[in-house]
Structure 1
Amino acid sequence: MVQDTNMTQGKPLRLLLFFALPLMFGNIFQQLYTVVDIAIIGQGVGMDALAALGSVDWLNWMMIGIAQGFTQGFSVRIAQKYGEGDLPEMRRFIAQAAILTAVLSLLYLTLGQLLLPLLLILLRVPAELSPMAEAYTRTLLLGAPAVMFFNYCSSVLRAVGDSKTPLKAMIIASIVNIILDLAAVFGLGLGIAGAGMATNIAQCVAGGICAIKIIQNPLLHFGKKELQKNIAILKNLTAIGSPAAAKNVIISIGGMAVQTIVNGFGSGFIAGYTATSKLYGLLEIAAISYGYAITTYVGQNYGAGKPERIREGVRSAGKLSVATSVVIAGIMFLFGRSITALFISTEIPALAAEAKHVAYCFLCVMSAFLPVLYLLYVYLSALQGMGYTGITLISGIIEFLIRLIIAFIIGLSGFEMGIFCAEIIAWIGAAVYLMIHYYRKIALLDPACH
């Protein structure tokens, strides 16, 4: 059964909410990968393993960020063609995006494995943590093609309004991941690398489920004709996908710069910082889901030449996002101590106490400013949907510079808790920049300009 959704008609708030809800549940299950990995590693392998994972956290996030950036860019063009009603051209874009995804997967896998030793040195990973950090990261890098494949397939489905299939894929993959995690770490004693292997296999499962749906959907299925190399489309997709991916890389580099400061503060601080950094994924689940919904909604309406619907949809998304962020923040304030404690082993009481304190403090700071992060996603996604990925790249540079400057100042001062400010002020700077440019672009948008 075809599950595409035309978002150029109907009430924007209802369309956005019902499109985002399956993605939200899917993201919850995707974050379950991370939560299970951290909980099992922290409890089953030990505090050093947890700290090792945290020492390369931003490096591993960059892999996902590159995949999401490129494929989100691809989905913009697919959604715009769907909104225009040009289905043959849409299928050509889907096929050419598949070619780019395959090339990028191999490139990332090769470069990642070759450059990893240098990256660990640049991150200042402590010598006692380096072997575990390298084992985990090398394992995840082997799964880079699976990550790219799943993100490509899910982005194609989202572009035409199918948010239910990625949900089903993530539910099944999460169950597979949990079972394999437990077996690899506790049953087979494979340690931190075993958790990485479980995640890779689960990503393959998720990608396979989404790929089957694309093949079965007559709107999306492409053949040899569409796969013939089309330089113009490949350039177009590269032009719109590269800035989105580059933005995520730049943000990751900024995060790694902060991590180098954190890595100098000791295992207790690193473990606490890591615990909350992993929860960051849970904090932004709804924001990511709304962002995907907004990009699809804006892309389809941009293609259909309906700027007023874009304005109405973004206004509705802003209200919905702020309300959601306030609820999530309240939950974190109330139950944050118990949640962060799940990831921290008590084998060394003094170290555990420090880690729990750091984790909860960081969580409270992020929760207090969560509405800023959610608005950032709203305007970022709206601009992406209109095709202005260059502006979103500049927002990533702003985040990078702010995060880097503050981290450097904190590093010199030695005030550990001040490192939390780097994240918050980076959000504020990027959000203000994106809001200004969104309102400028939407004011100039002409119904015939698409």
Structure 2
Amino acid sequence: MIKDLTSGNETKVMLRFAIPMIIGNLFQQLYNVADTIIVGQFIGAGALAAVGSSYTLMVFLTSIILGLCMGSGVVVSMFFGAGKKDKLKSSVFTSFWFIALITIIINVFALVFIDEILHFIQIPAEVLYDTKKYLQIIFYGIPATFIYNYFATMLRSIGNSVMPLIFLIISAVINIVLDIIFVVPLSMGISGAALATIIAQGFSAVSIAIYSFRKVPEIRLERKHLHFESSIVKLIANYSLLSSIQQSIMNFGILMIQGLVNSFGVSTMAAFAAAVKIDSFAYMPVQDFGNAFSTFIAQNKGAEKQQRIRNGIHSAIKIITISCITISILVVVFAKPLMSIFIKGNETEIIGIGVQYLYIEASFYCLIGYLFMFYGLYRGFGKGSMSIVLTIASLGTRVALAYVLSSVPSIGVLGIWWSIPIGWALADIIGYYKIKKDKII
């Protein structure tokens, strides 16, 4: 188990640290993917569309929480790399209660304004009931999402990426088993899928919190750490708020795309729901590598090892290029069988739309891989504002083009699909220009 990322071969250190994170988040994706597969196969296309729209909305709502956790993790990584143990522990106390308060506000907002939210994302009338019923249960899992991701981020920030993986694997298995039991023999429908998810989330949250406090001395707090230090509050706010804003902007753009997709009807919604799950699995490795890269950068910044940071950037580019080309080929070749996992083979229209989406997106996975690297780089350097610039460039382009192109009758939904890689490309150009200008590489 690696904790110190400031020594050893850069490529090997980053990969050994990132691989457990990648495996862990692949299992985390199983929470919603298990719902999607079981709902699509045993309930139908309407329920699949409802779960897909719910997933996009949940990602947006929790993106604020995840951004705050990621920003706090950078601060902890810097203190860990600099050997400042008391500062590290004080930052854990401060960030936990700060993010907990935000989580409560988000949870109350989601439950109170659920009808207004569903109207905003243009849920069609034929799936409105199922979507609302699913979300009313899922929203109660938001606190568990915060607790798991907070402690997982803290553990990863000090180089422990293995234990979050273990808890995720167990909870993902729980989720899948309960999904099958609730939906198939018990016939609980879409409510059963939602209930299975929040039970599994609750297990992972409680388990990782208990482990962190009992087994990890680096973040085990003493009485002297239970106070708010103004300098640490400012530092955490600087990193966390910018990360949160970046995550929120990114996922708000995706939510707007979901609303546009919804306007094309249930078949397009169902296809998009399945294809996005495949997308999420496909580029999840490079997304998590970007998060691991952020920890690598932050620790080496704290240790003031500039040349090691440069070497790490070059290694990261090679890793991402090879990984994305391999994944792109696999997704394009197996696009139709992958879609058939989520929806019955006789739903030819839905499968055709999903395959069309995957052919376009999968061909450009390298672009989003480099974008995740830039996010990790700037987050690790504490330049969260640059991540926001890249997100606005990517998402702004994507949303604007999607709405303009899809309004042309001869282009239609294809305009939504093509707008995505174009947005990635623009953000990559800006990110590369910036690191060359600042002579980071």
**TM-score interval w.r.t. the shorter chain?**
over 0.9
Provide closer, same or farther for how the CA distance between residues 219 and 57 of structure 1 changes in structure 2, counting only shifts above 3 A.
closer
* Structure 2 letter corresponding to 1:417: L
In the other structure, the counterpart of 1:406 is 401
Contact map agreement 1:177 1:199 (CA 8 A) in 2: yes
- Partners of 1:170 and 1:302 in 2: CA distance: 30
In the other structure, the counterpart of 2:91 is 93
- Partners of 2:314 and 2:114 in 1: CA distance: 43
Aligned runs of 1:289-328 on 2, under 5 Å? 289-328=288-327
Contact map agreement 1:383 1:438 (CA 8 A) in 2: no
- Partners of 1:400 and 1:443 in 2: CA distance: 25
In the other structure, the counterpart of 1:281 is 280
In the other structure, the counterpart of 1:79 is 77
- How far does the alpha carbon of each residue in 1:393-427 deviate from its partner, in whole angstroms, 9 at most, with x for none? 12222222112211211232131222101211111
- Partners of 2:166 and 2:438 in 1: CA distance: 36
- Partners of 2:84 and 2:2 in 1: CA distance: 15
Provide closer, same or farther for how the CA distance between residues 364 and 189 of structure 1 changes in structure 2, counting only shifts above 3 A.
same
Aligned runs of 1:322-337 on 2, under 5 Å? 322-337=321-336
In the other structure, the counterpart of 1:35 is 33
In the other structure, the counterpart of 1:17 is 15
Contact map agreement 2:2 2:16 (CA 8 A) in 1: no
Contact map agreement 1:247 1:393 (CA 8 A) in 2: yes
In the other structure, the counterpart of 2:417 is 420
* Structure 1 letter corresponding to 2:104: L
In the other structure, the counterpart of 2:429 is 432
- Partners of 2:437 and 2:190 in 1: CA distance: 48
Of 374, 389, 401, which residue of structure 2 is paired with 1:379?
374
Q: Quick check: 1:156 aligned with 2:154?
A: yes
- In structure 1, stretches of 5+ residues that fail to align are 445-450
- Partners of 1:45 and 1:232 in 2: CA distance: 53
In the other structure, the counterpart of 1:390 is 385
Aligned runs of 1:4-153 on 2, under 5 Å? 5-153=3-151
Task: Name whichever of 366-375 and 398-407 sits farther off.
Answer: 398-407
- How far does the alpha carbon of each residue in 1:132-176 deviate from its partner, in whole angstroms, 9 at most, with x for none? 111222222111111111110000011111110111011111111
Contact map agreement 1:29 1:174 (CA 8 A) in 2: yes
Contact map agreement 2:242 2:385 (CA 8 A) in 1: yes
Task: Name whichever of 390-399 and 296-305 sits farther off.
Answer: 390-399
Q: Quick check: 1:205 aligned with 2:203?
A: yes
Give how far 1:4 is off. Answer: 5.3
- How far does the alpha carbon of each residue in 1:57-108 deviate from its partner, in whole angstroms, 9 at most, with x for none? 4212113322321111001000001111111111111111111121122111
- Partners of 1:238 and 1:91 in 2: CA distance: 16
- Partners of 2:142 and 2:181 in 1: CA distance: 22
- How far does the alpha carbon of each residue in 1:189-209 deviate from its partner, in whole angstroms, 9 at most, with x for none? 222222122112212222233
* Structure 1 letter corresponding to 2:415: G
Secondary structure (helix, strand or coil) at the match of 2:219 reads coil
Provide closer, same or farther for how the CA distance between residues 431 and 139 of structure 1 changes in structure 2, counting only shifts above 3 A.
farther
In the other structure, the counterpart of 1:262 is 261
Contact map agreement 2:375 2:387 (CA 8 A) in 1: yes
Contact map agreement 2:32 2:55 (CA 8 A) in 1: no
Give how far 1:435 is off. Answer: 2.3
Which consecutive aligned stretches of 4+ in structure 1 deviate over 4 angstroms post-superposition? none
Contact map agreement 1:77 1:93 (CA 8 A) in 2: yes
- How far does the alpha carbon of each residue in 1:257-279 deviate from its partner, in whole angstroms, 9 at most, with x for none? 22222112122222111110111
Secondary structure (helix, strand or coil) at the match of 2:279 reads helix
- Partners of 2:212 and 2:437 in 1: CA distance: 37
Give how far 1:365 is off. Answer: 1.0
Task: Name whichever of 203-212 and 64-73 sits farther off.
Answer: 203-212
- Partners of 1:371 and 1:10 in 2: CA distance: 27
- Partners of 1:55 and 1:286 in 2: CA distance: 23
In the other structure, the counterpart of 1:447 is none
Secondary structure (helix, strand or coil) at the match of 1:342 reads helix
Provide closer, same or farther for how the CA distance between residues 136 and 235 of structure 1 changes in structure 2, counting only shifts above 3 A.
farther
Contact map agreement 2:38 2:180 (CA 8 A) in 1: yes
- Partners of 1:329 and 1:390 in 2: CA distance: 30
- Partners of 1:363 and 1:224 in 2: CA distance: 53
* Structure 2 letter corresponding to 1:237: I
Contact map agreement 2:50 2:130 (CA 8 A) in 1: yes
- How far does the alpha carbon of each residue in 1:198-239 deviate from its partner, in whole angstroms, 9 at most, with x for none? 112212222233223322111221133312233332232122
- Partners of 2:438 and 2:383 in 1: CA distance: 9
* Structure 1 letter corresponding to 2:303: A
- Partners of 1:325 and 1:356 in 2: CA distance: 24
State the identity as a percent. 26
Task: Name whichever of 428-437 and 42-51 sits farther off.
Answer: 428-437
- Partners of 2:2 and 2:218 in 1: CA distance: 9
- Partners of 2:390 and 2:139 in 1: CA distance: 27
Provide closer, same or farther for how the CA distance between residues 355 and 397 of structure 1 changes in structure 2, counting only shifts above 3 A.
same
Contact map agreement 1:298 1:386 (CA 8 A) in 2: yes
Task: Name whichever of 218-227 and 85-94 sits farther off.
Answer: 218-227
Secondary structure (helix, strand or coil) at the match of 1:413 reads coil
Provide closer, same or farther for how the CA distance between residues 204 and 4 of structure 1 changes in structure 2, counting only shifts above 3 A.
farther
Secondary structure (helix, strand or coil) at the match of 2:125 reads coil
* Structure 1 letter corresponding to 2:295: T
- Partners of 1:195 and 1:134 in 2: CA distance: 13
In the other structure, the counterpart of 2:221 is 222
- Partners of 2:176 and 2:52 in 1: CA distance: 20
- Partners of 1:431 and 1:218 in 2: CA distance: 40
